[in-house]
């Protein structure tokens, strides 16, 4: 009889679904696309969250390098990323620090021709503010303790997650 495991698994699922944020991967075409100029990053301005990854997908002989904040066509020092590649290659970089990162191609003439852009990390104004830089992330409400099934019906309770519903259902199934 494995039914006794269901409440625990459901509780874990409930916490996992409400407490985790998935890191995303964003693709930037290096050297344009079939429908955009060759000497570009596409998109050239990206807004990502701390912990997200950028995949630089090369469509020609270029570099995807971090430019200095003062002159986006010269190298940053220190720099977080400096990839050199050719068509078909890709490189991933995960941004774990909030900030504004210039990117450009180091090949002479390319940056001046417009092959540059900006990656904004952790500045997104959309949805919830995942302020992981402050170290005080959003607090997570714990699942109700076992045996307090009646609290699901309490007015003003937090929104019930699927996991909690399953937990409650399983508890009632066992208890009944
Ligand atoms: C970069 O990440 C993508 C998506 O996860 C993956 O398909 C690709 O193989 C990675 N590239 C490298 C060089 O690791």
Substitution site in 25, 27, 30, 55 for ligand 1 pocket (most atoms within 8 Å of beta carbon) = 55
User: Residue 119: which of 25, 40, 30, 46 has the closest Cα?
Assistant: 46
Q: Which residue puts its alpha carbon closest to atom 10 of ligand 1?
A: 92
Nearest atom, ligand 1, residue 92 CA: 1
Answer whether 55 contacts ligand 1 (Cβ < 6 A).
yes
pLDDT of res. 45: 97
Answer whether 82 contacts ligand 1 (Cβ < 6 A).
no
Helix (H, G, I), strand (E, B) or coil at 128: coil
Answer whether 24 contacts ligand 1 (Cβ < 6 A).
no
pTM as predicted: 0.64
Answer whether 27 contacts ligand 1 (Cβ < 6 A).
no
Domain ranges of the chain: 3-20+143-175, 25-121
Answer whether 79 contacts ligand 1 (Cβ < 6 A).
no
13 Cβ neighbours under 8 A, 6+ residues apart? 162, 163, 166
pLDDT of res. 22: 83
Answer whether 90 contacts ligand 1 (Cβ < 6 A).
yes
Q: How far apart are CA 104 and CA 41, in angstroms?
A: 8
Substitution site in 90, 91, 93, 95 for ligand 1 pocket (most atoms within 8 Å of beta carbon) = 90
pLDDT of res. 164: 44
Cβ pair 107, 63 in contact under 8 A: yes
pLDDT of res. 167: 52
pLDDT < 70 stretches in the chain: 1-20, 124-176
CATH topology of domain 25-121: Immunoglobulin-like (2.60.40)
Q: How far apart are CA 28 and CA 54, in angstroms?
A: 7
pLDDT of res. 89: 98
């Amino acid at each position: 009889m494995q039914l006794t495991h269901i409440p625990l698994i459901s509780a874990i699922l409930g916490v996992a679904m409400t407490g985790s944020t998935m890191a995303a991967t964003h693709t930037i075409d290096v050297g344009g696309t079939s429908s955009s100029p060759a000497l570009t990053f596409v998109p050239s301005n990206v807004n990502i969250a701390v912990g997200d990854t950028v995949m630089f997908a090369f469509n020609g002989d270029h570099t995807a390098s971090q430019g200095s904040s003062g002159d986006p066509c010269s190298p940053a020092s220190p720099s977080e990323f400096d990839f050199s590649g050719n068509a078909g290659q890709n490189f991933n970089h995960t941004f774990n620090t909030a900030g504004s990162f210039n990117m450009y191609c180091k090949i002479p003439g390319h940056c001046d021709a417009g092959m540059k852009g900006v990656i904004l990390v952790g500045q997104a104004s959309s949805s919830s503010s995942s302020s992981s830089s402050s170290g005080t992330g959003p607090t997570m409400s714990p699942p109700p303790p076992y045996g307090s099934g009646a609290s699901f019906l309490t007015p003003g309770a937090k929104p019930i997650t699927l996991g909690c519903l399953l937990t409650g259902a399983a508890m009632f199934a066992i208890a009944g």
